[in-house]
């Protein structure tokens, strides 16, 4: 993934390297409260770091090989939104399956954080992300409803094309430690914040060799051809258009109000005679 440093836009206080596929200009809007905080030169306030992830499942119908209790082969996973290696942030992921599975608590210790199984039923999977100790000592829970059957009941199931359900989200660390920041400085999986002026980080500790690191990403994953893409550009456009419309409506109504108020003044003055 190319670092879109050229498109980095300096917002109000934080700018972020874009993670997902589109290289949209990120402008800071709305969250102006960060400026209200007193920047007393304390350690790294108002610096948040976020990791865009996608989690969900993929399910293949087994077709002829399907039995009554194993009709689908499915994989539940957590991946970086741009298929980068999440191992730099996540230490392990625990997938809690339905109790009818053997050893329903499945632990995945290394990226890619995915789990494959075979079954027939849809149920809720609790996904717990455990982070490295310098990142966060509290785990984070996600919940995903496993989907095997296509939305449209009439569409036939195919063994070649899987049913895919994915959700985009971002893991936010509002108060990251210096060590954490230093370690992930240039990592593509992370939305790195803009540091307060003059603040420098120690150079990152040399990580394990690139080969080992590369294996954790999901770019070459056999399932990657089915991954969905999440583009924030479309959504931003949609929202911007909607906002424009609403703002236009607001202006119109304000004009109406002032019109009416003017009329009221007239009436009042005439009735006071």
Closest to other proteins by CB, 103 or 200: 103
What is the nearest approach in angstroms of other proteins to the Cβ of residue 193? 10
Among 17, 24, 77, 184, binds other proteins (CB under 8 A): 24
Contact residue for other proteins among 161, 199, 215, 254 (CB under 8 A): 254
In contact, 130 and 90? CB cutoff 8 Å = yes
Shortest distance, CB of residue 245 to other proteins, whole angstroms? 6
Q: Is 245 near other proteins (CB under 8 A)?
A: yes
**Among residue numbers 71 through 130, which ones bind other proteins (CB under 8 A)?**
98-101, 119-124, 128
Q: Of 109 and 175, which has the nearer Cβ to other proteins? A: 175
Q: Are 134 and 87 contacting, i.e. CB atoms less than 8 angstroms apart? A: no
CA torsion sign for 96, 102, 107, 109 is negative
**214 vs 257, which CB is nearer to other proteins?**
257
Phi/psi-derived region of residue 189, left when phi > 0, alpha when psi is between -120 and 50, beta in every other case: alpha
Residues 153-212 binding other proteins (CB under 8 A) are 153, 157, 167-175, 191
Q: Is 42 near other proteins (CB under 8 A)?
A: no
SS3 for 97?
Answer: coil
Q: Is 240 in the site for other proteins (CB under 8 A)?
A: yes
Min separation Cβ 37 and other proteins, Å? 9
Instruction: List the one residue from 10, 109, 143, 215 that touches other proteins (CB under 8 A).
Output: 143
35 binds other proteins (CB under 8 A): no
Q: 232: which residues sit within 8 A by CB, 6+ positions away?
A: 20, 22, 24
Tell whether residue 141 is a contact of other proteins (CB under 8 A): yes
Extract the runs of DSSP E, i.e. beta strands, from the chain.
49-61, 72-80, 90-96, 105-108, 113-119, 124-131, 140-145, 163-173
Query: Which CB atom, from 200 or from 269, has the smaller least distance to other proteins?
Result: 269
Binding-site member from 105, 158, 212, 235 for other proteins (CB under 8 A): 235
Query: Residues 144, 183, 188, 189: which binds other proteins (CB under 8 A)?
Result: 144
55 is a site residue for other proteins (CB under 8 A):
yes
Q: Which of 6, 41, 103, 137 touches other proteins (CB under 8 A)?
A: 137
Q: Considering beta carbons, is residue 100 or 105 the nearer one to other proteins?
A: 100
b/e 161-178 (16+ beta carbons within 10 angstroms → b): ebbebbebeebebeebee
Residue 13, interface with other proteins (CB under 8 A)? no
The helix, strand and coil proportions of the chain, stated in percent and rounded to the nearest 5, come to 25, 25, 50
Number of residues that bind other proteins (CB under 8 A): 79
Q: Phi and psi at residue 141, in whole multiples of 5°?
A: -105, 140
> What is the 3-class SS of 192-249, one letter each residue?
CCCCCCCCCCCCCCCCCCHHHHHHCCCCCCHHHHHCCCCCHHHHHHHHHHHHHHHHHH
């Amino acid at each position: 993934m190319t670092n879109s440093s050229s498109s980095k836009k300096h917002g109000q206080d934080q700018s972020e390297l874009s993670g997902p596929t589109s290289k949209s200009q990120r402008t800071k809007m709305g969250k102006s409260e960060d400026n209200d905080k007193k920047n007393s030169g304390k350690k790294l306030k108002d610096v948040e770091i976020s990791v865009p992830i996608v989690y969900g499942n993929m399910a293949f119908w087994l077709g002829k090989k399907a039995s009554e209790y194993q009709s689908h082969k499915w994989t539940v996973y957590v991946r970086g939104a741009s298929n980068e290696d999440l191992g730099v942030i996540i230490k392990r992921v625990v997938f809690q399956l339905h109790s009818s599975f053997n050893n329903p608590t499945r632990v995945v210790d290394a990226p890619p954080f995915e789990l494959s199984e075979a079954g027939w039923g849809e149920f809720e999977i609790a996904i717990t992300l455990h982070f490295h100790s310098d990142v966060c000592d509290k785990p984070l829970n996600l919940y995903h409803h496993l989907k095997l059957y296509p939305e449209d009941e009439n569409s036939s199931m195919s063994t070649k094309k899987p049913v895919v359900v994915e959700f985009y989200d971002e893991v936010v660390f509002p108060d990251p430690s210096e060590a954490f920041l230093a370690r992930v400085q240039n990592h593509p999986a992370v939305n790195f914040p803009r540091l307060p002026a003059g603040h420098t980080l120690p150079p990152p500790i040399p990580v394990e060799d690139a080969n080992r690191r590369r294996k954790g990403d999901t770019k070459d994953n056999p399932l990657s051809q089915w991954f969905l893409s999440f583009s924030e550009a479309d959504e931003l456009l949609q929202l911007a258009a909607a906002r424009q419309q609403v703002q236009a409506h607001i202006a119109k109504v304000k004009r109406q109000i002032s019109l009416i108020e003017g009329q009221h003044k007239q009436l009042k003055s005439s009735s006071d005679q």
